[in-house]
């Protein structure tokens, strides 16, 4: 296979052209550039730039709760196929699943949420899936890419090839915002972040960087889960001490919600944290 060291020296012009390619062309012609994916819960819920309610109502949480989980729709699909989104949402679902005060957890596919659909769209989805509370996952991912100038460039019969030449740095934020749909109030939120760095030959850069972006979301979810547990615990205390929400039982349910707000299944952070630690060998 022909490479830059074995090119036949047929003319000074060819050598000069090759030198120019190595000196300037590689970094310009083959620079993968940067890549951004973003979906904002604020843009989704307040598409016209309106402000949240100045006098928030006190949410009434009726037990047992029905919870929906969904990714906020963005302009792009975050390079995540729906099957991968479903896997990530199921991991978040596990953080709620052990609560005895939750009767159902529904994963809402992204196409059911319209970009900039607002609370009207969220309420439509809540009615469709029969849920009371929705956890919206927003994301912000930025990939920086650069060509390593210390790399060796080869020109082969299959095209340009960098050896250890294309570097990427993928920074990911995933944020879970939990809303009471009826009152339109934010109950609590929890963030998760990740950073992945690597390098790849140019011909494999697309595949490697896509996998890095997908892994960035996975690691951000890993980071989010214990944060979610902590925020659940903090919300439990706020319900008990500050009465930030009213807890009542639905007709026919006798799980002790109003009498035992501290034991609210949604707020049982310890059980979820223990389950997360078991899954991760902690």
90: which 2 tokens? 């199921």
116, 92, 190, 98: which is closest to 108 by C-alpha? 92
3-state secondary structure of 271: helix
pLDDT above 80 (res 99): no
Task: Point out which residues pair with 155 in neighbouring strands.
Answer: 160
192: which 2 tokens? 């998760």
Stronger pLDDT, 262 or 246, i.e. the higher one: 246
What is the structure's pLDDT at 121?
96
What does each C-alpha distance from 189 to 28, 185, 200, 241, 282 come to in angstroms? 42, 12, 36, 19, 24
pTM, entire model: 0.72
66: which 2 tokens? 């029905």
Owner of token pair 């090839």: 161
Strands 246-249 and 102-107 turn out to be unpaired
Q: Please, are residues 70 and 131 in contact by the beta-carbon 8 Å criterion?
A: no
Q: How far apart are CA 231 and CA 103, in angstroms?
A: 21
For 180-226, the pLDDT digits (tens) are: 999 999 999 999 999 988 765 565 666 677 788 889 999 999 999 99
pLDDT tier at 258, thresholds 50, 70, 90: very low
Q: How far apart are CA 129 and CA 107, in angstroms?
A: 9
What is the structure's pLDDT at 97?
81
Tell me what percent of the residues of the chain surpass a pLDDT of 70.
63
């Amino acid at each position: 296979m022909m490479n830059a060291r074995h090119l036949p020296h047929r003319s000074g012009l060819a050598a000069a052209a090759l030198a120019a390619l190595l000196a300037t062309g590689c970094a310009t012609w083959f620079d993968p550039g940067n890549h951004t994916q973003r979906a904002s819960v604020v843009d989704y819920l307040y598409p016209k730039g309106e402000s949240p309610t100045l006098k928030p109502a006190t949410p009434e949480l009726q037990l047992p709760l029905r919870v929906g989980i969904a990714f906020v729709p963005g302009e792009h699909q975050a390079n995540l196929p729906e099957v991968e989104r479903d896997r990530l949402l199921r991991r978040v679902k596990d953080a709620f699943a052990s609560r005895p005060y939750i009767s159902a957890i529904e994963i809402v596919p992204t196409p059911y949420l319209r970009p900039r659909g607002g609370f009207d769209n969220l309420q439509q989805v809540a009615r469709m899936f029969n849920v009371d509370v929705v956890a919206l996952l927003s994301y912000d991912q930025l990939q920086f890419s650069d060509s390593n100038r210390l790399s060796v460039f080869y020109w082969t019969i299959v095209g340009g090839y960098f050896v250890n030449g294309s570097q990427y740095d993928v920074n990911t934020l995933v944020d879970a915002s939990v809303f009471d749909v009826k009152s339109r109030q934010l109950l609590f939120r929890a963030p998760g972040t990740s950073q992945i760095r690597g390098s790849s030959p140019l011909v494999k850069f697309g595949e490697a960087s896509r996998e890095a972006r997908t892994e960035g979301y996975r690691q951000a979810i890993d980071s989010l889960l214990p944060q979610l547990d902590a925020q659940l615990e903090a919300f439990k205390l706020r319900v008990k001490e500050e009465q930030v929400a009213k807890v009542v039982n639905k007709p026919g349910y006798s799980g002790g919600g109003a009498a035992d707000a501290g034991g609210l299944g949604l707020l049982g952070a310890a059980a979820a944290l223990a389950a997360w630690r078991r899954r991760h060998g902690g």
